[in-house]
Structure 1
Amino acid sequence: MLDVQPPLFSVIIPLEYHRGQWEQSWLGWKSQTVDRSLYEIILVVPPDFSARGELKALAGDGARLEFTESSHDIGLCAFGATKARGQYLFFTESHCWPEPDVIELCIKAIAAHPEWSGFSCKSVPICHNRLSEAEAQMYQADIEFGMKVHPWRKVLDQCFVTRRDVYEECGGLREELGHFAEWVLAAAYHARGHAIGYLEAARFHHYYVGKLGDLKRFTLDFVQGEIRYFSEGRRGPGSELLEIPIEWSCQDNFDSGLARAAFAALLREGFSRRDRQRSGETWPAFRRWVEPALFGDRAARVMAWLVAVHARCVLTAMVRVGSRARISRELKRYIAALIYLQRLDCIHGVRSKDRGALPRLGERVLAQAGFHGLEAWQGRSFRWSEPEAAVRICAQPGRNVVRIECLDVRGPVDRIGVRFHLDGARIADASIMARGGAFEVSLDRPSSATFILAWTCPRFEAVGDERRLGLPVAAIDVTSGAG
């Protein structure tokens, strides 16, 4: 295979997780209708690949074998890309095989769509049991949404073709992010103005294994990459497009120190407030805060584990005796429960590390508990607090003014009825000003340190919203002076 001219395509096939289909994949590539000089095949071999003898005998001189210590599909693809000679990289998986005209159709698409920097092909599911049918139905719906509806999530590693220079410009596939790397790469393409198309005529057969253990490993791989990416706090092109999981942005809700502060404020103020007594809000608020105050995130993780175990048991039973529709519903339920559990566990694993990348309401806010996810109102971003909330703030010696800016969603701030507490003690009304759509809380600190500011307020009843809503907080700023 010593071509004078480099090939047009470099087909990169990672041999990890081949599901026993790598020979079928190889035969599919050997059967292409175009001249063989137009593409090279790079088989990237992980260290634990057990059929090396059979691989060398089957491939002969028809493919290049590249050996690496990586043991993940994404890492193997990334390594193969560094060895490629083609103008276009063609990423696929070893449990997928192309129809004979795939390369031919790709050549025509490149000529017909010069605006495309890359494109994904059509994934055709191959199923062999009832669970694999439900698995294919779930993932195919997601693939179709990405390819035809979503504005940028169009990188499908089963069958993705890209100009090599654009791939390198956008940072390539990052092994440490697992299969979340596909989303990161797709976002980078979109942010840099590179269009990714969908070539539905070029068909790949994708083998669905239909095993719960494999499904669990795949979701964990994706979630680990997702949480690792957000923990890095990168701000490169495309980072703003990736939706932050609510479990990540609200992880401080399990901060036991903040939960104790919110709970203490509730004990001092909440049980005596007539508005809480009238609405029956007292005991729900009590249950909300006592758990994280005593156990941090442990109780939530145990409950998430129990829900996931129950969902798996139900799914296992339905695979044996349930209808196809019931299996599909229970699979989605199990995957949702599994992702929630895995996110909590992954976040727990990084909580002890630097979390400066976590979205905060202000630069001096170190942690915030009792807040819902980020949303927008009249073009402005904000976060609803709960009727009880607490923030850990970095202070300077002397006078500090904490300004809590609120949007006018529930009316003027001076009519809400908020009560503030500093490190467990009620703050005097004379130290609190409500003006300009914000609360200004004046505090004297003898030395540079952190403190916890907590508050309670009546619950805001929003139509059609069952959440416990307190203040619509847009920002928290801290001004320090000598006093």
Structure 2
Amino acid sequence: MRRSLLPKSSQQNPSDSNVLISVLMPLEFHRDQATIAIRKWRQDQTLQGSAFELILVASHDADAADMDEIRQLLAPQDRLVQTSAKHDIAQVAEAARHARGDLLFFTESHVWPTPTVLEQCLDVFAKRPEWAGFSCRTHASAPNKLARSEARMYEADIQHGMTESSWRKILDQCFATRRKAYGEAGGFEFDFGHFSEWLLAARYHKLGLAIGYAPEIELVHHYIGQWPELRGFTEDFVAGEALWLARGGPRQERIIEIPFEWSSRGERRKDLARHILQIAWHQRRRKLRPRLRDRGMLQVLRRHWVAALLGDRLDTSRARATLLWRHVALMLARAFGSDAQLDRVFRQTIAALVHERRLRTSLEVQKVAGEGSLWTPDELHAGRAAGIHAAEVYDGVPFRWSSDVASAELQLPAGEHLVQVQTLAHILMKSVKPLFYLNGQMLPIEAANVADGTFVLKVARDGDNPTILGWVSEPQQAPNDSRILGLPITRISRLEHF
């Protein structure tokens, strides 16, 4: 059930303040619009001036003359805070810590309000007590062709989030919220950069804090259409997303979709791909059971030979080349193309940039994500295995189907260990007797329980050498499923007692 968060009485604010709502504005990325925005907030609002405050945050090295000009525009209850932070998310999070109002309005210094914004916000909060917050609507100010294309793309994405997505309801350029709800959800976490907007929205949703959409409350968003800034914003978002993934975010905010580049990163590891080819060839050459037939061997080769030879280099090189070409096409479309052509190329260029950055960051954070248990089906461990399909859930139990040949890295200290491989035996179409390998050498099964699909292996790690466990199993066939299926793995773990 969604909860109702009624605003506290303004009498609970500090005794020297009648502030009902705090407008929070970072001054980073102001695009030369900060003084225009501040004037429209402080001089044009129909709400009585003493009923709201402006909390502005700038970096310590901001231009002193600009800061003096801004101070001249402020009312006595307003504040200009200077901090070491240079990121706008860090600055707006700092602004929230200084706010005295029980209602918060998050905005940007290149966004201008219409005169009735704050009065309308108070009216919406009064009429919709079940809303913990809501986003408003912005219209574009776009001085050039690329800026107009940028605006059309982002406005379409915003409209999707506000009207179709079940959770992507926070728009940090014009988001009003009850302060209690903002604190309960943890606020904007600046470590995650611009991805923190999605993260905060997911946390509101998880807590059952309703976020509405008030398109009748309008502001103007100034776009500048400069590729370096667009690229920087996009790269910052992807870097924050990667950090969230590396810290195990999907375990907490399950509603956020996991990017393919992250979930498939194990398939691009050279060591895992080579191990798969090694054990497949051993199985084929020795004619061992379960038998790997000609078609099966060809499928293994087709899937893993590129990664075994080049690792991730082919994918990353192809992504860089695609991004370069898209950038050239964007410049040409900007100069000579129609609006429709520019819009199409612009979307393709942003998509290419996101893909290229996700490929790079998924590998950069792999070591961070690699700590913890041996292997589970969740996304944190996806980079440790190859020959593994996407995560699924059966009767509440998460698992991943492996292919008929697969490998997983086990992070173990030096010495001998008992390792348990657990599977969902009751969903198998036929019984299996898999063969296990450790670093390319056959590994005997110490104990097995066919009924519950558990296999216990004795694994020895020698010094600092990597420990790669592989297996070959009888292929399974599922109705209406064209995938090559092997074992439905639920967990690989180390037993406490040897």
TM-score by length of 1: 0.85
Q: Deviations over 1:278-323 (max 9, x none)?
A: 58x61x6435423333443333322221121122222222222223
Once the two structures are superposed, the pairs formed by residues 345-364 of structure 1 within 5 Å of their partners are 345-353=360-368, 355-356=370-371, 360-361=375-376
Q: C-alpha separation between the residues in 2 aligned to 1:361 and 1:338?
A: 30
- Higher mean alpha-carbon deviation, 205-214 vs 97-106, is at 205-214
In structure 2, how many angstroms separate the alpha carbons of the residues matched to 1:445 and 1:46? 54
2:36 corresponds to: 24
**Gaps (5+ residues) in structure 2?**
1-13
* 1:130 paired residue number: 145
Match of 1:187 in 2: 202
SS of residue matched to 1:119: strand
The amino acid across from 2:376 in the alignment is L
Which amino acid letter does the alignment assign opposite residue 393 of structure 1? L
CA contact under 8 A between 1:230 and 1:357: conserved in structure 2? Answer: no
Q: Cα deviation per residue 1:105-161 (whole Å; 9 max; x = unaligned)?
A: 111101101111111111212223232222222211221122122222211110111
* Counterpart in the other structure of 2:264: 250
Distance 1:357 1:298, change over 3 A: farther
Q: Any idea what SS the aligned residue of 1:178 has? A: helix
- Report how far residue 437 of structure 1 moved: 6.8
CA contact (8 A) 1:233 1:358 kept: no
**Residues 51-60 or 111-120, more deviating:** 51-60
Q: Provide the residue aligned with 2:441 in structure 1.
A: 425
Q: CA deviation at 1:460?
A: 7.1
Matched length:
472
| Corresponding residue number in structure 1 for 2:405 | 388
The answer as to 2:101 corresponding to 1:86 is yes
1:50-65 equivalent positions in 2, closer than 5 A: 50=63, 51-59=66-74, 63-65=78-80
Distance 1:334 1:464, change over 3 A: farther
| Cα distance in 2, alignment partners of residues 387 and 132 from structure 1 | 51
1:405 aligns with 2:424: yes
- Given candidates 274, 280, 298, the residue that maps to 1:260 is 274
Letter in 2 for 1:92: T
Question: 2:136 — aligned with what?
Answer: 121
Q: Which residue of 2 aligns with 1:6?
A: 18
Quote the Cα distance in structure 1 between the aligned partners of 2:411 and 2:99.
Answer: 51
CA distance in 1, matches of 2:481, 2:57: 51
Taking structure 1 as reference, are residues 403 and 448 closer, same or farther at Cα in structure 2, changes over 3 Å only? farther
Does the CA contact (< 8 Å) of 1:315 and 1:334 recur in 2? Answer: yes
**CA distance in structure 1 between the aligned counterparts of 2:396 and 2:496, rounded to whole angstroms:** 33
> Which residue in 2 is equivalent to 1:317?
332
1:207 aligns with 2:225: no
Q: How much identity, in percent, do the aligned residues show? A: 33
Q: For the residues of structure 2 that align with 1:95 and 1:305, how far apart are their CA atoms? A: 32
Does structure 1 residue 108 correspond to structure 2 residue 123?
A: yes
Query: 2:438 & 2:123 partners in 1: Cα distance?
Result: 68
Contact 2:377 2:489 in 1 (8 A): no
Q: Contact 1:412 / 1:437 at 8 angstroms: preserved in 2?
A: no
Using a 3 Å threshold, how does the CA distance of structure 1 residues 17 and 462 change in structure 2: closer, same or farther? farther
Alignment match, 2:55 = 42
Any idea what SS the aligned residue of 1:151 has? coil
Question: How far did 1:204 drift?
Answer: 1.0
Deviation, 1:352, is 3.1
Matched, 1:370 2:387: yes
Q: What is the rounded CA distance, in whole Å, between the counterparts of 1:25 and 1:402 in structure 2?
A: 60
Equivalent residue for 1:15? 27
Query: Match of 2:253?
Result: 239
Superposition RMSD in Å: 3.4
Alpha-carbon distance in 2 for matches of 1:482, 1:88? 56
Counterpart of 2:423 in structure 1: which amino acid? I
SS at structure 2 position matched to 1:20: coil
Contact kept in structure 1, 2:421 and 2:491, CA below 8 Å: yes
Query: Structure 1 stretches of 5 or more lacking a match?
Result: none
SS at match of 2:218: strand
CA distance in 2, matches of 1:398, 1:66: 56
Shift in CA distance, 377/306, structure 1 to aligned 2, threshold 3 Å:
farther
**Post-superposition offset of 1:384:** 3.5
Scaled by the length of structure 2, the TM-score of the pair is 0.83
Distance in 1, matches of 2:426 and 2:318, equals 35
Distance 1:9 1:401 in 2: 57
